[in-house]
């Protein structure tokens, strides 16, 4: 049996060897750090037996899927510790998440801080014992009976759902603790050298408020104590940068009880939002996009035609108008289809790039709402590109270049994921394969690396997702490119080709910011509220030292305002040190201190938010500096 390893090397092994055995053969260090594996692109347990020629990649904690297996095992260790300390607790689910893991428990009363400390200590004891994990399978009926004997009703419910598929159900055992689980998991618990339980919140079983309320415990784990400490330090820094806290302090936005998940933008926040929108319009005009606007509420017939009524209705807000069902749009795409259909198109019109800053509404569970990062109403910077099959690759490349330009403007690095066909999808497999290959070819030709995200595409087509990295190393999914053969078919879009015949266009859905609101939240945290000069709601604050300096201050304000800068004067009878501190807290990029000396010389004493005192400067030089910062969008 031939096993092709990462990098292309091929080794021969006897049929029946496990992925773990291969890792051990490749080196003791790799075996010790191995968390899971990929067999022919599918993430698997290291215990998986290899019985045919295959491609094998050993995954460590440095790999995303390796981290998931590591953290998933940590969630089982936490559940084991909870059952030791609180035997009557009922188990539900305990997955890995983007940063760590959680487990939901049905408890008589929520865990206290002292309880979490006790659970964490018990986890450390379990890790120190070095328990081996073993995997076994039961038939559906055996699994249901076993879980019923264990008095785990939530697990019984899950097993019954699996029973409908008629497949055996897998379990993982570590000492006295056994959990229904698909895996993968570590070989033993020893690698979990550094664990920390972070918080405890409420959650509903299956995310449904009509179900039992559970106690969700979040945790994190690392192979080294130093990595845990670095992570905890990052969390402390993240708290200081929390966009909800800074948004309030800087008077940018508010979330009201009267509109949970529906953000209110305050005057300063609107300046920031509009500057982003101005930038969006500027770069899209340069790239040949036409801007459109489509209605917020549209008929149910449209959403049935688009497929959203069948595939997305639970996330949509609906209403009745004149005895007919309508829905508030969760996406801009169907409206874009109707705009395309307003007249017959020719191949000479293509590619047709139409952009829209559309206000969309999506129903999110209340527990998932988080400031501007997860809202129920947001502005999506959408665009839809209609093209011929021959234009697909070039148009994808054009969008990738546009997204790259935007992220570089803000100083973000990023990585790309290719998300493939989900189980719940529309259209023929052949169309999906063609679309997926087109996305792959375009980014490969541009020289970009990418990761495969199996089964996470939109229901109408595969997509490229752009995950940007902020200054704390956190990743955020923002830009996306989705290739769609389905909606043009459903809406019967046509163009007249060079042959005089009617043809079906291909379509790209894409966003750059993703959501203006969410992007603002990311920017606030990335820059810790100290937004770049060109984005700052207030760019310059004039600080007269005496009443005699106010007249010169007013002249400065008028001159700078006439040049298009956002400038205000603090003319209060307060000490200059107080005024400077307040301007610093408001993250104002430039403070202009003017006293009698500056009045006489017709200069300003410039203080920079980052650099401190820059000394005296004539107004013309300051204007040149600020003009350059605006033009070049320096971050």
Q: Do 547 and 563 share a domain, yes or no?
A: yes
Model confidence at 22, pLDDT cuts 50, 70, 90, reads very high
Spatial CB neighbours of 363, under 8 Å, sequence gap ≥ 6: 314, 315, 316, 317, 376
Model confidence at 180, pLDDT cuts 50, 70, 90, reads very high
What distance in Å separates the CA atoms of residue 317 and residue 360, rounded to the nearest whole number?
10
Which of 500, 526, 552 is the last residue before a domain boundary? 526
Supply the pLDDT for residue 1: 85
Residue holding tokens 């046509």? 494
Which of 208, 239, 270 is the last residue before a domain boundary? 239
Supply the pLDDT for residue 311: 82
In the structure encoding, which two tokens stand for residue 503, read together? 């043809």
In the structure encoding, which two tokens stand for residue 67, read together? 């981290």
Residue 313 lies in a domain: no
What distance in Å separates the CA atoms of residue 171 and residue 265, rounded to the nearest whole number?
49
Q: Do 23 and 146 share a domain, yes or no?
A: no
Is 380 catalytic? The answer is: yes
Q: Do 517 and 545 share a domain, yes or no?
A: no
Q: Which of 164, 180, 163 is nearest to 172 (CA)?
A: 180
Q: Do 412 and 486 share a domain, yes or no?
A: yes
Model confidence at 293, pLDDT cuts 50, 70, 90, reads very high
Out of 65, 104, 381, 382, the active site residue is: 382
Model confidence at 631, pLDDT cuts 50, 70, 90, reads very high
Q: Do 184 and 103 share a domain, yes or no?
A: yes
Quote the DSSP letter at residue 589: S
Beta strands at 590-594 and 540-544: parallel, antiparallel or unpaired: parallel
- Using the predicted structure, report yes or no on whether residue 568 has a pLDDT greater than 90: yes
Average pLDDT in the 218-231 region? 95
Give the DSSP H or E segment for 620. Answer: helix 619-632
Out of 76, 384, 425, 607, the active site residue is: 384
Share of the chain above pLDDT 90, in %: 78
Q: What is the CATH number of the domain that holds 556?
A: 3.40.50.800
What distance in Å separates the CA atoms of residue 264 and residue 253, rounded to the nearest whole number?
6
Residue 139 lies in a domain: yes
Residue 305 lies in a domain: no
Q: Do 257 and 111 share a domain, yes or no?
A: no
Residue 308 lies in a domain: no
Quote the DSSP letter at residue 266: P
Model confidence at 435, pLDDT cuts 50, 70, 90, reads confident
Question: What range does the domain containing 75 cover?
Answer: 68-239
Phi and psi at 526, nearest 5°, equal: -60, -45
Q: Do 89 and 209 share a domain, yes or no?
A: yes
Average pLDDT in the 145-164 region? 89
Is 509 catalytic? The answer is: yes
- The DSSP string of 161-226 is HHHTTT--EEEEEETTEEEE------SBSTT--EEEEEEEEEEEGGG-TTS-EEEEEEEEEESSHH
Supply the pLDDT for residue 601: 92
Q: What is the CATH number of the domain that holds 149?
A: 3.30.980.10
Which of 193, 215, 239 is the last residue before a domain boundary? 239
| Local structure of 609: helix, strand or coil | coil
Residue 318 lies in a domain: no
Is 384 catalytic? The answer is: yes
- Using the predicted structure, report yes or no on whether residue 194 has a pLDDT greater than 90: yes
Supply the pLDDT for residue 174: 95
Classify 307 in phi/psi space as left (phi over 0), alpha (psi -120 to 50) or beta: left
Out of 509, 566, 587, 607, the active site residue is: 509
Q: Do 117 and 9 share a domain, yes or no?
A: no
Q: Do 434 and 501 share a domain, yes or no?
A: yes
Supply the pLDDT for residue 502: 96
Condensed to tens digits (0 to 9), the pLDDT of residues 71-125 reads 999 999 999 999 999 999 999 999 999 889 999 999 999 999 999 999 999 999 9
Supply the pLDDT for residue 310: 85
Average pLDDT in the 245-251 region? 96
Is 584 catalytic? The answer is: no
Residue 532 lies in a domain: no
Give the DSSP H or E segment for 624. Answer: helix 619-632
Condensed to tens digits (0 to 9), the pLDDT of residues 458-502 reads 777 889 999 999 888 888 889 999 988 888 988 999 999 999 999
Q: Do 202 and 262 share a domain, yes or no?
A: no
Mean pLDDT of the chain: 93
Condensed to tens digits (0 to 9), the pLDDT of residues 312-361 reads 888 999 999 999 999 999 999 999 999 999 999 999 999 999 999 999 99
| Strands ordered across the beta sheet of 42-44 | 10-12, 2-5, 54-60, 34-39, 42-44
Supply the pLDDT for residue 582: 95
Supply the pLDDT for residue 473: 84
Supply the pLDDT for residue 281: 96
Q: Do 15 and 78 share a domain, yes or no?
A: no
- The total number of structural domains that make up the chain: 4
Give yes or no for a contact between 340 and 493, defined as CB atoms under 8 angstroms apart: yes
Spatial CB neighbours of 469, under 8 Å, sequence gap ≥ 6: 412, 413, 414, 415, 475, 476
Residue 302 lies in a domain: no
What distance in Å separates the CA atoms of residue 505 and residue 485, rounded to the nearest whole number?
8
Is 348 catalytic? The answer is: no
Condensed to tens digits (0 to 9), the pLDDT of residues 496-507 reads 999 999 999 999
Q: What is the CATH number of the domain that holds 383?
A: 3.30.930.10
Residue 531 lies in a domain: no
Model confidence at 148, pLDDT cuts 50, 70, 90, reads very high
Average pLDDT in the 193-209 region? 90
Q: Do 153 and 256 share a domain, yes or no?
A: no
Out of 38, 185, 243, 463, the active site residue is: 463
Out of 181, 200, 215, 333, the active site residue is: 333
Model confidence at 454, pLDDT cuts 50, 70, 90, reads confident
């Amino acid at each position: 049996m031939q096993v092709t390893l990462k990098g292309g090397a091929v080794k021969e092994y006897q049929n029946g060897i496990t992925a773990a055995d291969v890792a051990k053969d490749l080196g003791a260090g790799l075996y010790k750090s191995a968390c899971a594996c990929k067999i022919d692109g599918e993430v698997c347990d290291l215990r998986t037996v290899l019985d045919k020629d295959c491609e094998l990649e050993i995954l460590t904690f440095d790999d995303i899927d390796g981290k998931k297996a590591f953290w998933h095992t940590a969630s089982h260790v936490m559940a084991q510790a909870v059952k030791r300390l609180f035997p009557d607790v009922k188990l539900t689910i305990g997955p890995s998440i983007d940063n760590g893991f959680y487990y939901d428990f049905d408890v008589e009363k929520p865990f206290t801080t002292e309880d979490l400390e006790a659970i964490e200590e018990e986890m450390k004891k379990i890790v120190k014992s070095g328990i081996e994990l073993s995997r076994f399978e039961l038939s559906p009926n055996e699994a249901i009976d076993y879980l019923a004997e264990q008095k785990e009703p939530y697990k019984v419910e899950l097993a019954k759902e699996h029973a409908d598929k008629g497949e055996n159900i897998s379990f993982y055992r570590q000492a006295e603790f056994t959990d229904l689980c698909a895996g993968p998991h570590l070989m033993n618990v020893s690698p979990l050298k550094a664990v920390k339980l972070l918080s405890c919140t409420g959650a509903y079983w299956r995310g449904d408020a009509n179900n039992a309320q559970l106690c969700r415990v979040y945790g994190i784990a690392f192979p080294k104590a130093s990595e845990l400490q670095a992570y905890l330090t990052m969390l402390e820094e993240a708290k200081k940068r929390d966009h909800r806290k800074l948004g309030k302090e800087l008077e940018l936005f508010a979330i009201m009880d009267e509109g949970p998940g529906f953000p209110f933008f305050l005057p300063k926040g609107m300046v920031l939002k509009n500057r982003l929108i101005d930038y969006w319009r500027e770069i899209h005009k340069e790239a040949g996009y036409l801007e459109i606007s489509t209605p917020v509420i549209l008929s149910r017939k449209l959403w049935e035609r688009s497929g959203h009524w069948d595939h997305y209705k639970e996330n949509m807000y609906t209403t009745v108008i004149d005895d007919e069902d309508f829905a508030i749009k969760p996406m801009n795409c169907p409206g874009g289809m109707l705009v395309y259909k307003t007249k017959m198109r020719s191949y000479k019109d293509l590619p047709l790039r139409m952009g829209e800053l559309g206000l969309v509404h999506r129903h999110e569970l209340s527990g998932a709402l988080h400031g501007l990062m997860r809202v129920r109403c947001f502005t999506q910077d959408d665009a839809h590109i209609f093209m011929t099959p021959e234009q697909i690759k070039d148009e994808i490349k054009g969008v990738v270049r546009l997204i790259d330009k935007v992220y570089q403007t803000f100083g973000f690095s990023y990585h790309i994921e290719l998300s493939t066909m989900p189980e719940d999808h529309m259209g023929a497999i052949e169309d999906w394969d063609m679309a997926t290959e087109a996305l792959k070819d375009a980014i490969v030709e541009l020289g970009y690396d990418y990761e495969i995200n199996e089964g996470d595409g939109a229901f109408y087509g595969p997509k490229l997702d752009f995950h940007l990295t902020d200054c704390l190393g956190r990743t955020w999914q923002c830009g996306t490119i989705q290739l769609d053969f389905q909606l043009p078919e459903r809406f019967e879009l046509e163009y007249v080709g060079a042959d005089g015949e009617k043809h079906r266009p291909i379509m790209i859905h894409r966003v750059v910011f993703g959501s203006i609101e969410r992007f603002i939240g990311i920017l606030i945290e990335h820059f810790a509220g100290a937004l770049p000069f060109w984005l700052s709601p207030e760019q310059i604050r004039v600080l007269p030292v005496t009443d005699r300096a106010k007249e010169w201050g007013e002249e400065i304000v008028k001159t700078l305002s006439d040049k298009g800068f956002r400038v205000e004067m603090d003319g209060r009878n307060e000490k200059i040190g107080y005024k400077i501190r307040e301007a610093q807290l408001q993250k104002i990029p430039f403070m202009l201190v003017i006293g009698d000396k500056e009045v006489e010389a017709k200069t300003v004493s410039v203080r920079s938010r980052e650099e401190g005192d820059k000394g005296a400067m004539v107004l013309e030089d300051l204007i040149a500096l600020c003009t350059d910062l605006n033009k070049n969008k320096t971050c």
